[in-house]
Every structure is written in structure tokens, then in C-alpha cells.
Chains A and B, each alone.
Chain A
Amino acid sequence: MPNEKELIFSVQGLRKWFPIQKGMFKRTVGHVKAVDDVSLNVYKGETLGIVGESGCGKSTLGKTMMMLQRPTGGAVLYNYGDGNFKDITKFNGKEMHDFRKQVQMVFQDPYSALNPLKKIYTSFEEPLKIHGINAKAEREKMMDAVLKMVNIQPDYLLRYPHEFSGGQRQRLCIARALEIKPRVLICDEPVSALDVSIQAQVLNLMKEIQKELNLTYLFIAHDLSVVQYMSDRIVVMYLGKIVEIAGKRSLYNNPAHPYTQALLSAIPVPVIRREKKRQVLRGEVPSPINKPSGCAFHTRCPHRTEICEREEPRLIPDQTDPEHLCACHLYNKTAA
């Protein structure tokens, strides 16, 4: 947890709906609500983990927060320092260019994130050129510095991407994102394409770099145990909505939302001879096109009541722990 909680991102009612078009005139017949009314805060120096199953909108949320996809509604406020908040959804090209100097992204697949026809040197030089570092000597100095940080020898710059292993490539991608000294790194499933032994290398490296540079991470992944290892706070998403936000201890020890409980219990634990109470969810994730009414989880929820089908629960803080928010009618009742 950061000592002084300085807000760096404030997402307010963010919405990203993809239209479904049909017929000759491309009439919009419905929407895939990938991100639907999401509000969250990111504080300086923390790692905010975002978990959920495939199709829950976690990647879309990450991309929309960087304006790689225009949101349908809502605001993303970014703190330029000293409470100077600006809404990045209203940025023009020049402002966006400056914003991207501060926030960078690491993608899932290190194989497609580096141009196979260009030497690493060229791929690494480009962001520096774009962001106005014109002296070649200075560029090379900066490139050497980031490579040292990810434990890759500087002379490897003259190699092509295919000469590197998956883990090395992901380290290169991280190094490239760090080159222009961003304050925030949005990592979209950075280790899910890697083997376990390599995954551990990359995760440890990311933690070290964060400490060294005082970075803020937004860590998106589907693997709860990886997210738990990396994050200070965790956001759990289901069908485009946040169902629970909590500190990692609190989420792991007292998961409040039935979905979080099921998700935690579904993870196979590499420990033997321990009695495991598994709560297996029936059914599957409903289609985001025809989301169930009320609480989207009610079709699979073991604690479903009649109100769940009618009314959508709001995110409500826990009575004892105000940092722990949960969107479920089970807790709403006790609060009221």
C-alpha cells in the first residue's frame, strides 16, 4: 500500500459498448456491453490487479483507459501531478501524444508485439524518436539503461526478435515500455503466454522494477494466483461490471461476492492432503449481448433471491472495511 495515497487515475462511469450491426444499412440491433459503468481509482505506486474470466471486459477496460479504444461514455481523469486532473477522453492528438509519454502498455503476446523484420535496435529507437529524443548518443544511452534493468546485454540490440526466447521477448517488451520513463504501466496478461519457470522470472523482475522506479501498475490477468502475487488491490469483473474491489489480503481472506468466492475456490491449489471445499459453479458465463436482468451473476449464483433478478446491486463498502467494496444484494440488506 502506498503511504500517501495520491490518486493517479480516476475512472468514472466508464462505458464501452460495441454495436452489433445487421442488415444492408448496418442497423444497430444491440450492443455488446464490454465495459458497463465502471468506476475505480488507481493510486500512485500501487499495483491494481484486474481479474475475471474471458469476455468479462478486463482487456477492454485497460485499452479504454489508454484511449486505444474510444469509450462510449464516462470519463477517465488522469493526474498530471499536484491534483491537476485532466479528462483524457477529451484529448486531442497533441495532448494524447503527451499523455502516452506517461502511460505505457505491455501486451499479452510477446511474439506479435515486436516487429519480426526489424532489429530490436530499430524497435527500441522508434518510441524515443517519436517522443523527441533526437541525439543518437542519448538514445543509445537510454536504451542501454533499460536493457540493463531487464538483464539483457546491450549488444543483443542488433539481433532480431526470433533469436530470443518467450521470456526474453516479454522482458524486451517491458524494457521498451519503460524507455520513455512512464509513470504508469498497463499490463494486459503479461505472463499468460509464458511457462511457469519463466513466468516467475518476469513477475519478480516486474516487482523489482516497480520498487526501483516507483511505478504504478495496472495488472490485468485471468489467473487469480498471479494477480494476488503482484497486486496491492484487486478488482474482480464479471460481464463488464465490477463485482468486488478489495485489498488483496481482504479479498483472499474474506471474499464477499459469491462470484469471487467461486472463483477463488475453483483454482486448483498445489498442496496435497488438504481438505478442499469446492464450490463448483453451475452453468456458464451468459452472453454479454443479452445480459441477464438485475445482477448479471444471478443465473449462476448459489445464493440467488428474488430481488437479484429485478434490481441491479450497487458497489457498497463493507461495514468494517471501507476499502472493501462489493456489489451484491446479500450485503445491501444488512447495510440498509
Chain B
Amino acid sequence: MEQKDIVLDVRKLNTSFISDGATVHIVKDVSFQLERGKTLAIVGESGCGKSVTVHSIVKLLPQNARFTAEQVLYRRLDEKTGGITEFDLAKMDPKGKEMRSMRGADLGMVFQDPMSSLNPVYRVGDQVAEALMEHNRGMKKSEAREKVLQMFRNLGIPDPERRIMDYPHQFSGGMKQRVVIAIAMINNPEIIIADEPTTALDVTIQAQIMELMKELQLNMGKSIILITHNIGLVAEQAEDVCVMYMGRIVEFGSLEQIFENPLHPYTKALLRSVPVLGLADDQKLETIPGATPNPASLGVGCEFADRCPERSEACSAKNVPAYEVEPRHRVRCIKFSQFKEVD
């Protein structure tokens, strides 16, 4: 794979939070690559650090967070010349001009709860136009309005001329999420980060929204980071999969590698604990014993060791590096220590 096909290259990202004077590591040595025009899914249970990872990339972290990274390299493709411009987001000031111009224009975000990501006292059309005019100073209002209308049409919002004058409370949950997607897409960003975009929605609406995102991706060649805990969505949407547990990527690979040849015990257990339609009558679901540990009281070694059915002495001796088992298939488990270590 050529370098220019990797739109986002994250290396050794660490984020910790300071609470009550103690430092709690939430994201540890996370490295991944996002390919241009592809969807990368980050899966894991609540509290595994998947949201903090992407919030660290766009640098929307609370005051008590501490962030370091070797690099968060973003490669912008100039569509006319085909040239590549590189930006290291890790070195930018979170409040600086440069970072502000990135958010929204190059990196679009869709959050979980559409109810709270829209301002209840502004008209939805104005909220979408604001995102557009923020990055295109001097754009005429009428021109912005046209673009917003076009966006609403693309997203299948009926009667857009009337709807842009409505307030968020006049929209249903699925329609609100479309508005949030409109805000994320209006500047034609290279990367769309979708943090549990359909968790608050019903399944039939979820199917609509996911189909819409897939369509936009196919038509406009966008790269998507999809954060979810729904294994089914991953199977249908993603090309690459990152499995996270307690702040680490325990396994990374293509969709086929993860689903057909899962290597990490956690990935295996996660895949088997989901109820699937059409299970045999007396088939039992597999469970992972115990509960996720408290991130503040973790010792050294593999975070999954005390719940793992295949643990050994060596698991808790030292932190486990990632091993590359097949090309692009990395797993953080000492069972594979005969393979090449990668960072």
C-alpha cells in the first residue's frame, strides 16, 4: 500500500485523565491507519476508550486530560492536482487557528446523541449554514442557503425549503441525526468520524442512516471511522476493524481477518457472545466471565488476563506488545510471540 492511500496515520497515541490527583491511563499506545475511501470500525464495550481515542484525534478533550502521540498524520489530497499535503495533528494547539480550521472542514464529526448535538434555539438551516460559513469566509448567505438545501436533498430530508426554517424539536430522532450528518458533511471533509451514530435510534431508522452513510461514502470517496459496540453493524459497514479493550487495541485487521480468523481471546469471546437471529433452540450464548476492571486499578501485563480462558503466567509479567500474524493483522497476545513484534 502506498503512503498516499493512508489518509490518517496514528502512532502511539496515549491519553490519560487526572482525577483526584491520580493519573488514569485511558488510551494506551494506540496505533492504526485509515485508508482513503474505506471504513474503519472501532469496536469495544463501554469504557474501553474508543470514544476518547477519536476525541483525542480531533483534540476535543476536557481540561483534565493529558495527551501525547508520536504522530497523528493527516494527508490531505488535493483533488485537482492530486498532490498530498501532510499535517501532524499531534503537534497542533487544540485551541489554535490551525486546528480549528481542520475540524469541520477536513474532519467531520457525528456524535451519538442527535438531541444534544444541535442547539435547540437556532433554526436547523442556520446551524448547518454556520458550519459552512465558518470555513468559507465571505460566502453569501443566499449561496450558503442553496448549498444547505442541496445537502438536505441529498440526505433525503423531505420538503427542505420548509424544513430549514424549523427548530430541532420539530424533527424526529432520525431526521435530527440527518441534520447532524449534514453539518458534518457540508464542508466535504476527507474523514468522517461517526461516534455511535445510530445507538439512540430504532433499527429501521438505523438501517436508513447507515445506508445513507454508505451511499455518501461511495459517491464522494470519503473515509469513515465508525465507532460502535454493535458487531452486526461492523460486519455490514467496515473494511477494517479495530478491537479495543481497556484502552488498547487488542486486535487489528481487515473485516475478513477479524471475522473469519479472530486470534485474540477477547475478540473470539466478543463475537460469540452476541445473540444472532436463527440460533438453535437450546444453544447457549458464550459469556466472558467477570466484569471489565476499573482502569484506575490495573496492574502490568495484559488487561484481559484475569478474564481470559487461555491465560498463563507470562500474561501478567509485562505489557504485551502487538505481533503481526499475517500482513496487516496485528494481535496483542503472547500466544503469538513467535511472530514479528510491531509497534
A interface with B by C-beta (< 8 Å): 53-54, 165, 167-168, 195-201, 203-204, 207, 222, 224-226, 228-229, 252, 262-273, 276, 278, 280-282, 284-285
In the complex, the answer to whether B236 meets A276 with C-beta atoms within 8 Å is yes
In the complex, the answer to whether A281 meets B236 with C-beta atoms within 8 Å is no
Known: A281-B207, A284-B174. A200 touches B273 (CB 8 A): yes
Selected A-B contacts with CB under 8 Å, 5 pairs: A199-B273, A225-B274, A229-B285, A268-B232, A273-B256
Q: Is B84 an interface residue (CB 8 A)?
A: no
Chain A CB count within 10 A is highest, among B174, B269, B273, for B273
Q: Which residues of B contact A54 (CB under 8 A)?
A: 202
Report the stretch among B89-97, B217-225, B276-284 that lies at the interface. B276-284
Q: Is B149 an interface residue (CB 8 A)?
A: no
In the complex, the answer to whether B203 meets A252 with C-beta atoms within 8 Å is no
Q: Is B288 an interface residue (CB 8 A)?
A: yes
Q: Mark B186-211, 1 if CB is under 8 A from A, else 0.
A: 00000000000000001111111011
**Least distance between B44 CB and chain A CB atoms (Å):** 9
- Partner of A196 from the list B203, B207, B208, B231 (CB cut-off 8 Å) is B231
Q: Which residues of B contact A165 (CB under 8 A)?
A: 291-292
- Partner of A270 from the list B203, B234, B291 (CB cut-off 8 Å) is B234
How far is B277's CA from A264's CA once the two chains are assembled, in angstroms? Answer: 9
**Least distance between B275 CB and chain A CB atoms (Å):** 4
Q: Which residues of B contact A228 (CB under 8 A)?
A: 275, 277-279
Q: Which residues of B contact A272 (CB under 8 A)?
A: 235, 255-256, 259-260
In the complex, the answer to whether A268 meets B235 with C-beta atoms within 8 Å is yes
**Least distance between B119 CB and chain A CB atoms (Å):** 22
Q: Which residues of A contact B234 (CB under 8 A)?
A: 270
Known: A54-B202, A266-B207, A272-B255. A201 touches B287 (CB 8 A): yes
**Least distance between B79 CB and chain A CB atoms (Å):** 31
How far is B211's CA from A119's CA once the two chains are assembled, in angstroms? Answer: 48
**Residue ID in chain B nearest A227 by CB atoms:** B275
In the complex, the answer to whether A196 meets B277 with C-beta atoms within 8 Å is no
Q: Which residues of A contact B154 (CB under 8 A)?
A: none
How far is B277's CA from A168's CA once the two chains are assembled, in angstroms? Answer: 26
- Partner of A281 from the list B204, B235, B287, B292 (CB cut-off 8 Å) is B204
In the complex, the answer to whether A252 meets B273 with C-beta atoms within 8 Å is no
In the complex, the answer to whether B233 meets A197 with C-beta atoms within 8 Å is no
**Residue ID in chain A nearest B283 by CB atoms:** A229
**Residue ID in chain B nearest A279 by CB atoms:** B207
**Least distance between A190 CB and chain B CB atoms (Å):** 13
How far is B270's CA from A224's CA once the two chains are assembled, in angstroms? Answer: 19
Known: A272-B255, A280-B211, A284-B175. A196 touches B274 (CB 8 A): yes
Q: Is B312 an interface residue (CB 8 A)?
A: no
**Least distance between A192 CB and chain B CB atoms (Å):** 11
Known: A268-B235, A271-B235, A272-B235. A200 touches B276 (CB 8 A): no
Q: Is B172 an interface residue (CB 8 A)?
A: yes
Q: Which residues of B contact A269 (CB under 8 A)?
A: 232, 235-236, 276-277
In the complex, the answer to whether B275 meets A203 with C-beta atoms within 8 Å is yes
- Partner of A195 from the list B45, B207, B233, B260 (CB cut-off 8 Å) is B45
Q: Is B150 an interface residue (CB 8 A)?
A: no
**Least distance between B138 CB and chain A CB atoms (Å):** 38
**Least distance between A152 CB and chain B CB atoms (Å):** 12
In the complex, the answer to whether A225 meets B276 with C-beta atoms within 8 Å is yes
Q: Is B98 an interface residue (CB 8 A)?
A: no
Q: Which residues of B contact A271 (CB under 8 A)?
A: 235, 259, 276
How far is B273's CA from A267's CA once the two chains are assembled, in angstroms? Answer: 17
- Partner of B45 from the list A197, A262, A268, A284 (CB cut-off 8 Å) is A197
In the complex, besides A198-B291, A267-B232, A272-B235, 4 extra interface pairs with C-beta distance below 8 angstroms are A197-B270, A200-B273, A268-B230, A272-B256
Q: Which residues of A contact B203 (CB under 8 A)?
A: 53, 222, 224, 263, 266-267
Q: Which residues of B contact A278 (CB under 8 A)?
A: 207, 211
How far is B232's CA from A226's CA once the two chains are assembled, in angstroms? Answer: 13
Q: Is B46 an interface residue (CB 8 A)?
A: yes
Q: Which residues of B contact A201 (CB under 8 A)?
A: 287-288
How far is B288's CA from A197's CA once the two chains are assembled, in angstroms? Answer: 6
**Least distance between B272 CB and chain A CB atoms (Å):** 9
- Partner of A200 from the list B205, B256, B287 (CB cut-off 8 Å) is B287
Q: Is B229 an interface residue (CB 8 A)?
A: yes
**Least distance between B292 CB and chain A CB atoms (Å):** 8
**Least distance between B187 CB and chain A CB atoms (Å):** 27
Q: Which residues of A contact B233 (CB under 8 A)?
A: 268
How far is B274's CA from A229's CA once the two chains are assembled, in angstroms? Answer: 10
Q: Which residues of B contact A196 (CB under 8 A)?
A: 45, 229, 231, 270, 273-274
